[in-house]
Amino acid sequence: MRPTGAVRSLTAQDVLDKLGTIVMIDVRIPTDDGRILEMRRYSQPELEHRILLAKLKVDLPKQPPPKIYSRQLNDRFCGGN
C-alpha cells in the first residue's frame, strides 16, 4: 500500500502510528443468568483517521455482532463470577 496524494508526505511509520491509535477491545458483560455477553469493538475513527483511511482507500471492518457464551465458558472467562 503506497501512500498517494496528500498522504504522500507521511512516511509508512507515520501512517502506522496514526492508525495504531484505533483501539480494538473485547467487552465482556456477565448476565443475570450466568452467561456472558461478549462484544469485540474498535474505537470510532477520529477525523484524521477517516481522512487517512479515505486517502488510502481502506475501509475498517464492520463491528461484529455480539456473542453470548454459556455458563461453562463464563466460569472459564470470569472465574465463575
24 grid coordinates: 480494538
**What pLDDT, on the 0 to 100 scale, is given for residue 48?**
92
Q: What is the pLDDT along the chain (81 residues), one digit of tens a residue?
A: 555 555 567 888 999 999 999 988 989 898 898 888 999 888 889 999 999 999 999 998 888 888 888 866 555 655 555
Residues 20, 32: Cα–Cα separation, whole Å: 36
**What pLDDT, on the 0 to 100 scale, is given for residue 43?**
87
Residues 56, 15: Cα–Cα separation, whole Å: 10
**What pLDDT, on the 0 to 100 scale, is given for residue 60?**
86
Q: Are 24 and 41 in contact (CB under 8 A)?
A: yes
Give the residue extent of every domain in the chain. Answer: 5-78
Coil vs helix vs strand at 54:
helix
